[in-house]
A = this chain, B = another copy of it.
């Protein structure tokens, strides 16, 4: 199942620098799963034509096939306060126009480095971004709602759900709305490698002699866990230390080796 890809369409096709476009499920899903926050865009329908962007937690899973891995078809789960704007819009459009459900665009981006070249127009960044176009449904079944709450909590910090007071009680269930986003189209765009300068600049000896070119790696780092004022557990639990250490190492290594990965085209 590792070769599944999102089909290219006019909606998800990477037009600009198309050689950076990636469509396989695993790559797209990994970028989303590895991002603490995704950006969700929707049209509230009433705000003078502005779309709205919200930073949210977005995690991937399949309620029908819970053992599915990242290379398989997955849904994107979002959660929020039951009467927040995005939830009101989702509820309203499900009610008013069930044949025309709410559409969203969801984007996750990691910046892996600044790419410094000889001239401003050749500058770039190393990055990984995934964009998903999807259709929203309200999750109403108790079992799927609990599935999503666990998915989201453990998607932020593996093992956390089981190590807290669960399940959510009646008031908590009622105040939380879960959205299931069916992924209609998706793609990723990735840049790695060193700077790509124009031939015209690479011939300018004086420019080469005075201009430092290269990469400044950027990555998300994790600090030491800090206890709350009311924490009573003296040692930071192993599942937390493991996550902090392993994820931090992976992020740092990716950024620091991005320059050695084959670049996908100029700039």
Contacts and interface: CB of A to CB of B under 8 A. Distances in A.
Contacts of A107: 39, 53-55
A52 B14 CA distance: 12
| Interface bin, chain A | 35 or more
Contacts of A150: 120
A76 to B, nearest CB: 14
Which of A121, A125, A217 has the most chain B CB atoms inside 10 A of its CB? A121
A229 B133 CA distance: 39
A172 interface: yes
Interface stretch (A21-29, A62-70, A199-207): A199-207
A20 interface: no
A106 to B, nearest CB: 7
Interface string A206-222: 01111111111111111
Nearest to A109: B55
B214 A225 contact: yes
A111 B228 contact: no
A81 B266 CA distance: 13
Contacts of A125: 36-37, 57
17 contacts: A11-B50, A15-B84, A41-B41, A43-B43, A49-B103, A51-B103, A55-B107, A114-B156, A123-B156, A212-B231, A212-B237, A213-B230, A213-B231, A215-B225, A215-B228, A218-B220, A220-B220
Interface of A: 10-11, 15-16, 36-37, 39, 41-43, 47-55, 57, 80-81, 83-85, 100, 103-107, 109, 111, 113-114, 116-121, 123, 125, 127, 129, 131, 133, 149-150, 152-153, 156-157, 160-161, 163-166, 168, 172, 175-176, 194-195, 197, 201-202, 204, 207-233, 236-237, 240, 244, 252, 255-256, 259
